[in-house]
Amino acid sequence: MRRLLLTGLCATTLLSGCASRGVDATGEFPTQAFDVSTDYYQAQRRVREYLKACYVDRQHPFNIAYDFTGSVDPKATTGETRLFTVNEPARALMRFTVRPAGDRASKATLTIMGIAPFDQQEMDAAIRSIQSATPICRDGKNPLAS
Q: What is the pLDDT of residues 48-90, one digit of tens each?
A: 999 999 999 988 888 999 999 999 888 888 999 999 999 999 9
The residues near 121 (Cβ < 8 Å, ≥ 6 apart) are: 138
Distance separating alpha carbons of residues 119 and 113, to the nearest angstrom: 9
CATH code of the domain made up of 30-132: 3.30.310.50
Domain extent listing, the chain = 30-132
Q: Strand pairing partners for 139?
A: none
Predicted TM-score (pTM) of the model is: 0.77
Burial class of residue 88 in the structure, from the number of CB atoms within 10 Å of its CB (0-12 exposed, 13-18 middle, 19+ buried): exposed
